[in-house]
Structure 1
Amino acid sequence: MSTRSQLLKGILDGCVLAVIEKETVYGYELSKKLQWIGLADVSEGTIYPVLLRLQKNGWIYGEMRPSEEGPNRKYYTLTENGKKALCDIRREWSGISVAVNTLLREDENDECSTVDSGK
């Protein structure tokens, strides 16, 4: 598994909850929205297990609705527990991201620039 995939795996629940907070969505639509914001490696195959887990946790609610373009779709909405969980994730992410950015920030002595260019 790539470094990017491993990093994303840790925060994907929060990303999914944040999208659902903004609007009720179905699985395929959710994966497209995540891809559109720059998470291109989030496929439908990745999304559905996350949705099941979030539903089991009571953070989202799924409801079947008719679709104008084919079979019924399951639309997901954030629950009150989901809103609380998203607040917790945001708070934790804020603290973690500041610390990690401080540690990993590149400076003029960073070796990454020479490693990336093959020097």
Structure 2
Amino acid sequence: MSRQLTEMLKGTLEGIVLAILSGRPAHGYEITAWLRAHGFADIAEGTVYALLVRVERRGLVDVRKVPSEKGPPRKVYSLSPQGRKDLDEFWKTWAFLAEKLQRLRKGDK
């Protein structure tokens, strides 16, 4: 992964994970697998788990533990009401930036 892509991803990964969880609850491995299946191949599981800890602390996700056949219970994350608000703000910000960058790319000043 290029340095530039890595830096841009750092700034957007939280919004991407919240968007994934807006579709359905998931555990960390499922989120990582989704990211990899959709072109984010270089994202480490540890990065996703660290992000999940941060969003849990901030109240952006609800967590429930479900039994696992292969060990301790798994944490399953779903978007909390505050997480939905943050995701809405993420999409508004994304749209704003995308529009400004597109104008800049076209040469509009």
Higher relative contact order (Cα pairs below 8 Å, separated by 6+ residues) = 2
Q: CA RMSD in A?
A: 1.6
Deviations 1:7-55, CA, capped at 9 Å, x for gaps: 0000111000000110110001100101111111222011011101111
1:39 match: secondary structure: coil
- Write the mapping of 1:11-90 to structure 2, written as runs, cut at 5 A: 11-68=12-69, 70-71=70-71, 72-90=73-91
**TM-score (structure 1 length as normaliser):** 0.81
Q: 4+ residue stretches of structure 1 with deviation over 3 A?
A: none
Identity of aligned residues (%): 32
Q: 1:105 to 1:27 in 2, by over 3 A?
A: farther
- The structure with the larger Rg is 1
Q: Which runs of 5+ in 1 are unaligned?
A: 107-119
1:88 positional shift: 0.5
* Aligned amino acid, residue 7 of structure 2: Q
The total of aligned residue pairs comes to 105
**TM-score (structure 2 length as normaliser):** 0.88
1:83 positional shift: 0.5
1:105 positional shift: 5.5
